[in-house]
Structure 1
Amino acid sequence: MKSILSILIIAVFISCNSSSTEDTYAVKKVPEKSELNKQANTFFASVTQLEKKDLKEEKVNLGKRLYFDKRLSKNNTISCNSCHNLSTYGVDNLPTSPGDTKEFGTRNSPSVLYAHLHSSQFWDGRAKDVEEQAGMPILNPVEHSIPDSLYIVKKLKKIDNYVKSFNEVYPESGLTFENLTNAIGAFERKMTPVSQFDRYLDGDEDALTAKQKDGLKAFINNACITCHSGVALGGSMMQKFGLFGNYWEYTKSKKIDKGLAEVTVKSSDEYIFKVPSLRNITKTSPYFHDGSVESLEKSIKIMAKLQSNKDITEDEVADIISFLESLEADLDPEMKTL
């Protein structure tokens, strides 16, 4: 009798243990990605998959202080945050922005969020990275209007706290213009918030609604991926704006900007601009290099016509906008203010 009872107890134990193992496996098992998700992963990449850069907290904090400091302009009226406001997704929502002299620039201020993922900076791609970019507005006569790099270094060296911080972060060289832009760049490299679309690419099928998935299909089928692909959905190439027409006839731009040709002075580079990232595009109007179009719906139609020679339908536009909403992602609150 005891032998039979022992066998029953062992059988129950094995059965329970087997069930527990299966339940554990069921919880950990990752569902297979849909065909649309697999297709999306061939064109795009999640920010969660990016290699983490080892950025020292002290350097990032110094860059943050510099980013918000209006003393980086000649008349103490303009900071990096003035045109790239972190409280409004890294833009000022103006067609063009006023500088330290109250004069307006000629191009729209793009979002600083995700900018470090781009292959180059500015609409004409003249800076190779966010570190080089950070110094150019400071020395621009319309933007920060600082006369030269020595001027701003001398100005900041009168501020004991900055001298101390630069010596701590850059013990070998201290406060230099190169270190100033390097610190700002370090802060900007932290601006990579995770969106719904990133979670979808990572395998969460429920991260997008049915309408957003329809928009993703429309985005792919209408060849938007030709230029807007990769982790930033743009920012990785230069392209002529107006492959099938003159852009200013559609945007009603007040000025015909020749884009890259203004840097290279080559007629073959006329109307070529850096392809913008579409992350947070629903929050960063107005659109295009000159901020000439306020409506995202109109911008999509213009792009379809000028770049793909397509008359996109109203339903497709609505679906694409829904998909673009899945790219919205904001910074942590502590990054937005000092």
Structure 2
Amino acid sequence: MKTASVVLSLAFVGVSAFAANDMQLLKKVKESGIKAIPQSQLELLKLVDDPNNPITEKKVELGKKLYFEPRLSKSGLISCNTCHNLGMGGADGVAAAIGHKWTANPAHLNSPTVYNSVLNKVQFWDGRSPHLEDQAQGPIQAGPEMAAPKELVVARVTSMPEYVEEFKSAYGDKVKIDFKLIADTIAVFERTLVTPSRFDDFLHGDLNALTPAEKEGLNLFVDKGCVSCHNDIGLGGTMQPFQVAKKYKFASLGGFQGDKNGMVKTPTLRNIEETAPYFHNGAIWSLADAVKEMGSVQLGINISDKESKKIVTFLKALTGDKPEVSYPILPVSTPKTPKPDMN
């Protein structure tokens, strides 16, 4: 009996030591500026809602249809989901976004994920849009993307009685369906695409939510300085100087230089394992290689293969639970609906 008591006491000490280490890691992570997605639906709604256009079930459903609607493009073939595929991590899986007439993005820019994009402080790689409502207007009109003038988009949508009735139901009978409202409604849907993960459970105090290997990788992630850019709730989404310590080895691909000050939007690390290829120009396909390149370019340090592998183990714990999105049945075109234009 005495031997058993000693063994149990030693085991308790060991467990207590692990718990203390985990608590210390949790404190370190929070002090680094990383925050959790709220567990409370009310708190989450406060975080993602736009008071100027509050989220409602009807707006979300209509926004979802418009998000999947290829007739918002000039050709009638490209929807928001084409480049921000909700079944593929909210991205498209290619290095440079492909748009109208099979045109690759002129600056060889990679499509960022739409998941958790509401958590970004700015939108687009150069941060030119302050929020999702403004961002949604850009790709629809851009020549290399959906290439649809505002007037064409409005004409397509208003030519279908089902859409007109849904807008009235969502916004009231006197609603004016213009281009801005169409983009705003898409943004309402996008605001709901938040993906809490086991990492958030850890931040909320569940010390067993991450494996020992994931915790080791998280500790390295903080100690190496990755949190200097990848912080807050989105683990990214702010404008940061790029090529701080060394030139990015694929900098010439596409020629993108960021905003006027050379600042580039830091991509979110949430669901990062699902959104290859990486960097603004999609030049690196391996997540481990991306980690090592960031160490060199941004931090001026060498991250070894072993260290990179450990950090990647943690990054995979950021893969979150996706909201269930069923593919919508879209309204039928009418004789008044402008025809697809491939030119």
Is the 2:194–2:323 contact (alpha carbons within 8 Å) kept by the matching residues of 1?
Answer: no
| SS at 1:331 equivalent | coil
The SS at the match of 2:152 is helix
What is the distance in 2 between the residues matched to 1:203 and 1:93? 34
For residues 136 and 63 of structure 1, the distance between their equivalents in structure 2, rounded to whole angstroms, comes to 16
Q: What amino acid is aligned across from residue 45 of structure 1 in structure 2?
A: K
2:38 to 39, 48, 60: 48
> What is the identity, as a one-letter code, of the residue corresponding to 1:131?
E
Matched, 1:273 2:264: yes
Q: After TM superposition, give the deviation of residue 182 of structure 1 in Å.
A: 1.3
Kept in 2: contact 1:212–1:319 (CA 8 A): yes
Unaligned runs of 5+ in 1: 1-30, 262-268
CA contact (8 A) 1:234 1:275 kept: yes
Structure 2 match to 1:174: 176
Q: Which digits, 9 at most, give the CA deviation of each residue in 1:60-91, with x for residues without a partner?
A: 00000000010010110100000000001101
Matches within 5 A, 1:268-307: 269-270=261-262, 272-307=263-298
The residue aligned with 1:18 is none
**Which shows bigger deviation, 151-160 or 168-177?**
168-177
Q: Is the 8 A contact 1:193 1:331 kept in 2?
A: yes
The Cα shift of 1:337 comes to 2.1
Counterparts in 2 of 1:89-168, with a 5 A limit? 89-105=89-105, 106-147=108-149, 149-168=150-169
Gaps of 5+ in 2: 1-18, 329-343
Counterpart in 1 of 2:26? 37
1:33-78 Cα deviation digits (max 9, x unpaired): 7111122223211112544146210000000000001001011010
Paired amino acid for 1:215: G
In structure 1, distance between residues paired with 2:158 and 2:138: 20
1:251 is displaced (CA, Å) by: 2.9
Structure-2 separation of matches of 1:255 and 1:155? 34
Bigger CA drift: 98-107 or 302-311?
Answer: 98-107
Higher helix share: 1
Kept in 2: contact 1:89–1:330 (CA 8 A): no
User: Is residue 86–residue 336 contact of structure 1 (8 Å, CA) maintained in 2?
Assistant: no
Indicate conservation of the 8 Å contact 2:122/2:239, yes or no: no
Tell me how many residue pairs correspond in the alignment: 295
| Aligned pair partner of 1:329 in 320, 327, 330 | 320
CA distance in 1, matches of 2:165, 2:151: 18
8 Å contact 1:163–1:174 — kept in the other structure?
A: no
Q: Distance in 2 between matches of 1:203 and 1:101?
A: 50
TM-score of the superposed pair, with normalisation by structure 2: 0.82
Q: Over alpha carbons, which structure has the higher Rg?
A: 1
Residue 74 of structure 1 aligns to which amino acid in structure 2?
K
Corresponding residue number in structure 1 for 2:14: none
CA distance in 2, matches of 1:293, 1:193: 24
Instruction: State the Cα RMSD in Å.
Output: 1.6
Counterpart mapping for 1:235-274 below 5 A: 235=237, 237-247=238-248, 250-251=249-250, 253-261=252-260, 269-270=261-262, 272-274=263-265
The alpha-carbon deviation at position 252 of structure 1 amounts to 6.4
CA displacement at 1:246 relative to structure 2: 1.7
1:309 matched residue in structure 2? 300
CA distance in 2 between partners of 1:83 and 1:253 (Å): 23
Per-residue deviation, 1:176: 1.5
- Give the number of the structure with larger relative contact order, counting CA–CA contacts within 8 Å between residues 6 or more apart: 2
* CA contact 2:100–2:146 (8 Å) conserved in 1: yes
| Mean Cα deviation higher: 44-53 or 94-103 | 44-53
Aligned to 1:224: 226
Matching residue of 1:19: none
Structure 2 distance, partners of 1:100, 1:336, is 26
> What is aligned with 2:332?
none
TM-score scaled by structure 1? Answer: 0.84
Quick check: 1:119–1:129 contact (8 Å CA) kept in 2? yes
Write out per-residue CA displacement over residues 190-218 of structure 1, whole angstroms, 9 at most, x where no aligned residue: 11122010111111111100011011110
